[in-house]
Amino acid sequence: MTRPLQLHPDRLFPADKTSRDIARRLYESVVNLPIISPHGHTDPSWFADNQPFGNPADLLIKPDHYVFRMLYSQGVPLQSLGIPGREGTPAETDPRAIWQKFAEHYYLFRGTPSRMWLDTVFHDVFELDVALDGDTAELYYERIDSWLKKPEFTPRALFERFNIEVIATTESPLDQLPHHQKILDSGWGGRVITAYRPDPVLDPEFEGFADNLRKLAEITGEDTGNYAGYLAALRNRRAYFKKFGATSTDHGHATATTANLSRSEAEALFNRVAGGDASAEDAELFRGQMLTEMARMSIEDGLVMQIHPGSVRNHNAWLFDHYGRDKGADIPSRTDYVHALQPLLDAVGNEPDLTIILFTLDETSYSRELAPLAGHYPALKLGPAWWFHDSPEGMRRFREQITETAGFYNTVGFNDDTRAFLSIPARHDVARRMDCNWLAQLVTEHRLPEDEAFEVAQDLSYNLAKKAYKL
């Protein structure tokens, strides 16, 4: 017996009729706004080459660590999802078998945002009207696989259909951005910009750091063997990225540690780090120092700075050894901001023309640290609920714990932070619905007049992201 797949028009709205009606009205005013996607991980080659996406498993399962982390947690081996081990453990190669395995475990996603995003993709993009399970897996596979070959499902066609006004990808400073060049050369009107993610050349513990410095020297013609040359090389690449539309940088450190060393201390630290004999403390301090340097460069060149701390990467040593990184084993940990950011804020926190956007995986910092900091320092803004918290309950907690101290205007709208291109409309839709839900609650409780709520809804869905990211 197949079950229907339905997306209710009132999904995520409050149960109470008065509030629900307000939420609906607010949502109707923002549902058709273009998507601003200022931070994400889509592959620019999709838009450069505009080739059809692969099969359903390659597109929807293998790259989505939300999906396979849940299956893996319930004992499904990664090989059965087509993910090969590093030592050449044979993995399932039949995409239909992978899809079947996924479908049979789809019930595991009940109550999760992945379920909501995937159902929206199935329903809205592939017009499926029965629910996914073991019995309907084949039907799903056929539909998705065949439709992906149609011209209306190529990356650019979907980009336009999704009403994306601008999307940012994320690249290393070592990337020459050929795909962005190709997009620019193509004359296609879609706005696909890059963002500057310098972790590979800022983090002494990043794989291949020494090599990366060498490559950075080659690309820029600067001498990365000394601190001044290194900084010049970083500046050089920021300018290069700006030519490809970059308006932001992004920094994914394990902690929020920052530092503000004297020039001579910083040079000595760089020499240890570049020489390859940095201790773990040196590495941490260097990352912290470089955040402050990046902020200084942002004052010069206007790039918006994003700081995403708090993830213990590759927590599962065995899995990392056998399958590599990004397999769903990054685990958040407690993150201090109030002390860790002090050196950075001492240096640049009062600059009104600088924008530093903070994200967190530690929700305890929302009301205790982040909202008070962003509600005071001119340079600070708060990014949306992120990663594990990019979900209805996560978004609810974000607004409940942030708004009263930081207000709406120290936040920056939504970003999807995803490589799952097809889910982008679904993700922005969830954010718009949850923001309208929150605003409807404020209106219903007479904490905000309805006419103002309409203005805020526009701001949260569109204006704030454009303004904060200078798009």
> Is residue 458 involved in binding a second copy (CB under 8 A)?
no
**Where in 130-159 is the site for a second copy (CB under 8 A)?**
131
* Residue partners of 243: CB distance under 8 A and separation at least 6: none
Helices (H), 162-276: 178-186, 199-202, 209-220, 227-243, 263-274
Is residue 289 within the footprint of a second copy (CB under 8 A)? no
Among 45, 190, 372, 458, binds a second copy (CB under 8 A): 372
Quick check: 18 binds a second copy (CB under 8 A)?
A: yes
Piece of the chain touching a second copy by CB under 8 A; list 147-155, 265-273, 295-303, 348-356: 348-356
- Residue 131 or 167: the one with the smaller Cβ distance to a second copy is 131
Three-state DSSP class for residue 123: helix
Q: Is 442 in the site for a second copy (CB under 8 A)?
A: yes
DSSP symbols for 31-54: TTSPEEE-S----HHHHHH-PPP-
Our CB check for a second copy shows the closer of 127 and 452 to be 452
Nearer to a second copy, 186 or 342 (CB): 342
> Site for a second copy (CB under 8 A): how many residues?
93
Q: Binding a second copy by CB under 8 A: which of 409, 419, 454, 466?
A: 409
Is residue 456 near a second copy by the rule CB under 8 A? yes
Q: Compute, in degrees rounded to 10, the torsion defined by CA atoms 449, 455, 461, 462.
A: -170
Considering the complex, what minimum distance in angstroms separates the CB of residue 276 from a second copy? 27
Look at residues 193, 135, 142, 133 and name the one whose alpha carbon lies nearest to residue 166: 193
Cβ closest to a second copy, residue 142 vs residue 452: 452
Helix (H), strand (E) at residue 305? strand 304-307
Asked if 401 is part of the footprint of a second copy (rule: CB under 8 A), the reply reads yes
Cα–Cα distances (Å) from 209 to 156, 274, 275, 359, in that order, read: 35, 9, 11, 25
163 contacts a second copy (rule: CB under 8 A): no
- 305-324 residues near a second copy, rule: CB under 8 A: 312, 315-319
Query: How far is CA 367 from its chain centroid?
Result: 22
Among 53, 209, 377, 469, binds a second copy (CB under 8 A): 377
Task: Kindly state whether residue 24 participates in binding a second copy, applying the rule CB under 8 A.
Answer: no
Q: Are 294 and 458 in contact (CB under 8 A)?
A: no
Task: Give the C-alpha separation, 50 to 42, whole Å.
Answer: 13
Distance separating alpha carbons of residues 267 and 471, to the nearest angstrom: 35
328 binds a second copy (CB under 8 A): yes
Would you count residue 336 as binding a second copy (CB under 8 A)? yes
> Helices in 302-410 by DSSP H: which ranges?
317-323, 342-348, 365, 371-374, 392-406
Binding status of residue 122 toward a second copy by CB under 8 A? no
Q: Is 19 in the site for a second copy (CB under 8 A)?
A: yes
How far apart CA 182 and CA 185 sit, in angstroms, is 5
> Is residue 235 close enough to count as binding a second copy by CB under 8 A?
no
* Least distance in angstroms from the C-beta of 5 to a second copy: 9
Q: Does 431 bind a second copy (CB under 8 A)?
A: no
> Which of 192, 283 has the CB closer to a second copy?
283
The residues, ordered by sequence, that sit 6+ positions from 270 with a Cβ below 8 Å of its Cβ are 226, 227, 230, 286
Identify the CA nearest to 414 among candidates 378, 468, 361. 468
Q: Residue 351 has which token pair?
A: 């600059």
CB of 58 to a second copy, least distance (A): 22
Footprint (CB under 8 A) of a second copy, residues 69-88: 69-70, 72-75
Instruction: State which of residues 13, 27, 227, 240 lies at the interface with a second copy (CB under 8 A).
Output: 13
Indicate whether 447 belongs to the interface with a second copy (CB under 8 A). Answer: yes
Assess contact for 290 and 235: CB atoms under 8 A: no
- Taking CB under 8 A as the criterion, the residue among 12, 103, 125, 168 binding a second copy is 12
* Of 48-56, 90-98, 174-182, 452-460: span binding a second copy (CB under 8 A): 452-460
Q: Which is nearer to a second copy, 11 or 242 (CB)?
A: 11
- Comparing CA positions, the residue from 174, 165, 169 lying closest to residue 36 is 165
- Tell me if 271 contacts a second copy by CB under 8 A: no
Considering the complex, what minimum distance in angstroms separates the CB of residue 444 from a second copy?
4
Which residues between 211 and 230 bind a second copy (CB under 8 A)? none
Considering only residues 90-119, where is the footprint of a second copy by CB under 8 A?
107-113, 116
- Residue 441 contacts residue 19 (beta carbons within 8 Å): yes
State yes or no: residue 368 binds a second copy (CB under 8 A). Answer: yes
375 lies in the binding site for a second copy (CB under 8 A): yes
Which SS3 state, helix, strand or coil, does residue 356 take?
strand
